[in-house]
Amino acid sequence: MSTVYDKAHELKQAISESEEFIALKALHEQIEADDIAKRLLDNFRQLQLDLQQKQMQGIQITEEEAQKAQQQFELVQQHELISKLMEAEQRLSVIIGDLNRIITEPLEAIYGSPNEQQ
């Protein structure tokens, strides 16, 4: 009889074989091979991380930092490969979110949905 962990490993395999994951992986490999795209994406992600860390520490983000982040986002969005990668990441993120909702349904039956008013 399969255990919960066996099912989790089956789900992992199904995700890694999905069209969405395969497309994401291919785009990621293309960006890794493109020095300009890789540098653009790395800089953007580092800026995102820096701003998230500031927010987590309760440090107010300046208007200048917000504008810089917006400019960086617009810049990476103009790069075709990066734009496609971000779209692929979003599609996979939606799937992961859906899966998370499905597997937490038994807990919601006991504790209620986190979205429910208490």
Whole-model pTM: value is: 0.80
Contacts of residue 77, defined as CB under 8 A and 6 or more positions apart, other chains included, come to: 83, 86
Rg for the chain, CA atoms, rounded: 19
Residue closest to 12 by CA, chosen among 102, 90, 96, 87: 96
65: exposed, middle or buried (Cβ count in 10 Å: 0-12, 13-18, 19+): middle
Q: For residue 44, what is the DSSP state?
A: H
Query: What does the domain layout of the chain look like in residue ranges?
Result: 4-111
Kindly report the CATH class assigned to 4-111: mainly alpha
Tens of pLDDT, residue by residue, the chain (118 residues)? 579 999 999 999 999 999 999 999 999 999 999 999 999 999 999 999 999 999 999 999 899 988 988 999 998 999 999 999 999 999 999 999 999 999 999 999 899 877 664 4
